[in-house]
Amino acid sequence: MKSAKEYLDQRFPQFEPELRQLLATHCVVKSLQAGEKMVQTGQYFRSTMLIVEGRAKLYREGEEGGEFFMYYLEPGQACALSMMCSTRQQVSEVMVIAEEDTTVLLIPIGIMDDLMGQYKSWYYFVIETYRTRYEELLVVIDQVIFKGMDERLEFYLKNQYKKLQSRELAITHQEIANDLNTSREVISRLLKKMEQQQRLVLHRNYIEWLETT
């Protein structure tokens, strides 16, 4: 495993050298396995998470236990809610799960105020993180309110292939249904329809995208 300083130099070159050194001194490197919960609904944050390896998915949990996929966290990004909730000492209202083996840097909340006041690159990073997540949430809201499930599924698949940079998506119909908060039967029917339209091919363990995205 790389050191915190190596991860910071690789993933966050926009930070001042002094800031990267400070973060390396105070942060903790943590590795999580695929499927492991990184954040649970209702927990207090003691640190802010910077993603340096792997990929995580952020969910909103319903009152009856359902899950709704919101967006991904990729290397070089931060969990905006961990920034917000940690500084305000609020509990998390979302759940974050490692989609694959993931490594994060945990920055203690005790130095957050100093970072915002002393380092412009950190200030701009936090603002950009909030802006990006806000825009992603607007996309989610538009999909839910204005789009049918067939359009939402198409958008979801295209986004998956774009993120993974591969035409082969190793995911089950049930996992897609969970992310889109619908039933497996609905997803299977829509996927079969897309296959009949020669837009994708359903294999035993993966979905192959045929269209140019």
| Spatial separation of the C-alpha atoms in residues 53 and 186, rounded to whole Å | 34
Please tell me the predicted confidence (pLDDT) of residue 113: 84
Please tell me the predicted confidence (pLDDT) of residue 65: 65
Per-residue pLDDT of the chain in tens (213 residues, 90 and over written 9):
799 999 999 999 999 999 999 999 999 999 999 999 998 888 888 889 999 999 999 988 776 667 788 889 999 999 888 887 766 677 888 899 999 999 999 999 889 889 989 999 999 999 999 999 889 888 888 888 888 999 999 999 988 888 778 888 899 999 999 889 899 999 999 999 999 999 999 998 899 988 765
Please tell me the predicted confidence (pLDDT) of residue 69: 87
Assigned token pair, 92: 């998390």
| pTM score over 0.75 | yes
Strand-pairing partners, residue 205, are none
| Spatial separation of the C-alpha atoms in residues 170 and 167, rounded to whole Å | 10
Domains of the chain and any CATH numbers:
4-118 (2.60.120.10), 148-209 (1.10.10.10)
> Which contacts (CB < 8 Å, 24+ apart) does range 127-130 have?
129/77, 129/78, 129/80, 129/83, 130/80, 130/83, 130/84
